[in-house]
Structures are given as C-alpha cells and as structure tokens.
Amino acid sequence: MERSVGGSRAPLVSAAWLSAHIAEPGLVVLDCSWYLPHMGRDPNAEYLSAHIPGALRFDLDEVSDPSSDLPHMLPAPEVFAQVAERLGIHADDFVVCYDGSGVNLSAARAWWMFRVFGHRNVAVLNGGFSAWARETRPVQRGAGRTLPTGYRSGEVDCTLIRDRAAIEQIVAGDSDAQIVDCRPAVRFSGEQEEPRPGLRRGSIPGSRNLPFGEFTDPSTRLSLTPSQLRALLAERGLDLARPIVASCGSGVSACTLALAVEVIRAADPGGVGPAVAIYDGSWAEWGRESR
C-alpha cells in the first residue's frame, strides 16, 4: 500500500507543498540533476554544495544500463532496485524528484523511471531547486546517509517504453502513434551539430518538434498550467487522444513531455489517451552515422 503524504497524488508538487510536508515519514526527496557536458556544470558538486534538506543524490549516469553503448538506457529492474535500496527508499514511499535546471531537464527522467519500474507514488518538484531556494528556504550541505531497505521493483510497465523497431513501424506508417522530438529546434532542423560525437544532424522522419524548454514559463521557471499545456500541444498539431512517443538526444529531456501530459490528465482526463512512451535510444541511436 502506498503511503499518503499530504494527500498528494499529483505529478507536480510545489515548493510550498514540499516545505509543509518535508518532515513527514514516507517522503523521499531526490536530487536528479544532470547536464550535457557543454553546459559546464557538475551536478554532484552542486549537490554537495547545497541541496534541499534530506535530499539524496540520484545520478542518472549511474542508474543506466552499463552494458549498452548508448547513453542513459534503462537498467535492468534489479539494478534500479539496488540503487533505490541503497538510497533508503521503500516501495510505498512518496518520491519527489527535482533538478537544478529550472526546466525539469532531468527530474522528469527519474520520475518516468520510477513509473516504468512500478513505483507510481512519485512526483516532480515544480521549478526544481531554484523554486525551493528563491523563498530563502533552508538548504543542506554534504552527502545524505541512508540505511538499506530491501527495495524491490514492481512489474515493468512496457507501455511507457519504445525501441527502434517500434519507431521504424511508426515511420513506415504502420502505427497511429505520433513522434515528438524534444530537442532544441536548431538540433531538430539540423542547423546545429549534435553535442555527442558520431551523430548525424536531423530528425526522425515524420516527427514533430516541441523543445523541452517550452513546457516551462520563462518568467517564473514553473511548468505551464494544464490549459496552457493543452494549447501548446494543439498548436503543434498533436492529438492527445492518440498515442505519443517522445524522443530527444538520449531519452532524458523527452520525459518532460510525458510529465506534461500527466499534468493535463490530472487536471482533466477527458480526451487524453495513453501515457506518453519514451523512445529510450532516441537520437543517440537513430542518428548514428553508421545507420
């Protein structure tokens, strides 16, 4: 049975909500910050310098398939469970993920991973660390300490994942799904080189572009409202009643679209089809020069 923390089951929680409930048992806060190399930021060093009190470090590079030559591929369920156990997470805990980007660059990926492995009691902190810190709320330095919990992953939800074969079916017209690329527009169009070596410029045939940064209000750094998100997706020609598969560079920022659709669903489920699936290989796989 899932623990109830402040009655929340929403995909997004505010900094005010977290501040009010942070001391409640059954609440786990994770710093899931991750950045591309060219951003020049060290998420581990930033965590040690300042994080939300009690927050634990969830390193996306560590919680990935070590046997794959693609970045950030989902690990085996037992590997994910080992990390969750080491972090002291119980299967019924309410997990809140955040990052330091201000646009849910990587927190949504951690949120999605927990859902894939059967842990649905999970949310993202709206606005991330900056939303917490801007109200001069307390921060903590150093690494958190935990005790192992015997965590076990639930049944893998395969509806939330797509592989290259599934994308090829969509491109061939054998599926009703819509492919959405969440990379910046200059990378989608091929105007800018990819940040990873060995990748071509361009995009998956038939895909639409909706950069992950557009889901966030540029003035407040908070996620758009459900009605604004609906309007944004409609403007890009997306039908929420049909399946959507999100892609990006390595399957990280694509999860922001999955989060946005769940925010819409939580506010008004009418007309919302299945949850967004993530093409885990994303452009790191599809865009290989060897293909």
pLDDT of residue 101: 94
List the catalytic residue out of 32, 182, 248, 255. Answer: 248
In this predicted structure, the answer to whether residue 178 has a pLDDT above a threshold of 60 is yes
Average pLDDT value for residue range 253-278: 96
CA pair distance 126, 212, nearest whole angstrom: 14
Pairing label, strands 244-247, 178-181: parallel
Query: Of 147 and 169, which is predicted with more confidence?
Result: 169
Confidence of residue 13 (pLDDT cuts 50, 70, 90): very high
In angstroms, how far is CA 242 from the centroid of its own chain?
A: 21
Domain ranges of the chain: 12-133, 158-286
Tell me the per-residue pLDDT of 104-160, one tens digit each, with 9 for 90 and over.
999 999 999 999 999 999 999 999 999 999 988 999 999 887 888 889 888 999 999
Q: Is 248 a catalytic residue?
A: yes
Sheet of 94-98: strand order equals 12-13, 122-125, 94-98, 27-31, 56-57
User: What pLDDT, on a 0 to 100 scale, did the predictor assign at position 6?
Assistant: 58
- Please provide the average confidence, as pLDDT, over all residues in the chain: 94
- Domains 12-133 and 158-286 agree in fold: yes
CATH no. of 12-133: 3.40.250.10
What gap in Å lies between CA 15 and CA 18, rounded to an integer?
5
Model pLDDT, residue 149: 85
The predicted model scores a pTM of: 0.95
pLDDT at 38 (0 to 100): 82
Is domain 158-286 given the CATH code 3.50.50.60 in the classification?
A: no
